[in-house]
Amino acid sequence: MPFKTFTPTPDDVNREWWIIDAQGMTLGRLASRVAMILRGKHKPTFSPHMDMGDYVVIVNAAKLHVTGNRMEDKRYFRHSGYPGGIRSLTLSQLLERHPDRVIEIAVKGMLPKNALGHQMIKKLKVYAREDHPHTAQNPKPYEGIDA
C-alpha cells in the first residue's frame, strides 16, 4: 500500500504570533529569519504553494546593528516617474526618518515576488520603539535568532 503525500489545506494552517526585539541584531540575519517565519518554513507542514506562515511583530527597529560601512554606503532609491525624479537615502538617513521601513524592505526582498509574497508581507508588523498595539494577540518571544 503506497503512502499518500501530505498536502495541507487551509484548515491545516495554524497561525501564531511572535515578537522579536531587534535591538543589537544584524539587519540581514534578522530579515532572513523573519522571512522564513512569514513563509512558514519553520513548520513541518510547510508547503511552497500556500501561505503557512505566522505573524511577526518586530520592536526596537531603530536600534538595529549593521556591519561594515553600510550606514553610509548602502543607499535606498525611489523614482517619482518623472525625468530626473530619482531620489536616494543612505541607511543612516532612512533609520532616522523611518526605521520600520528598513526592516520591511529587507524582508520583502527575501519573500516570493508574487501574490503569495504580497499576502505574506502583510503579516509583518514593525515598530521603531518598544511599544506595540498587539498585546491582545499575546505574541510569544522568538528566541531562534543570533545577534
The structural domains of the chain, with segments of one domain joined by +, span: 16-134
Is the entire prediction scored with pTM above 0.75? yes
Instruction: For the beta carbon of residue 131, count every other beta carbon within 10 angstroms.
Output: 8
Q: Which amino acid is at 2?
A: P
Cα torsion at 50, 107, 141, 93 (round to 10°)?
-160
- Between 80 and 7, where is the model more confident? 80
Mean pLDDT along residues 109-131 = 97
**Is the pLDDT confidence value at 147 over 90?**
no
Quick check: 131 pLDDT over 80?
Answer: yes
Q: Is the pLDDT of residue 96 over 90?
A: yes
Task: Answer whether residue 127 shows pLDDT above 70.
Answer: yes
The domain defined by 16-134 carries CATH number 3.90.1180.10: yes
**pLDDT band at 3, cuts 50/70/90?**
confident
Q: Using only C-alpha atoms, what is the Rg of the chain?
A: 17
- Three-state SS across 37-92? HHHCCCCCCCCCCCCCCCEEEEECHHHCECCCCHHHHCEEEEECCCCCCEEEEEHH
Which tens digit of pLDDT belongs to each residue from 12-49? 899 999 999 999 999 999 999 999 999 999 999 999 99
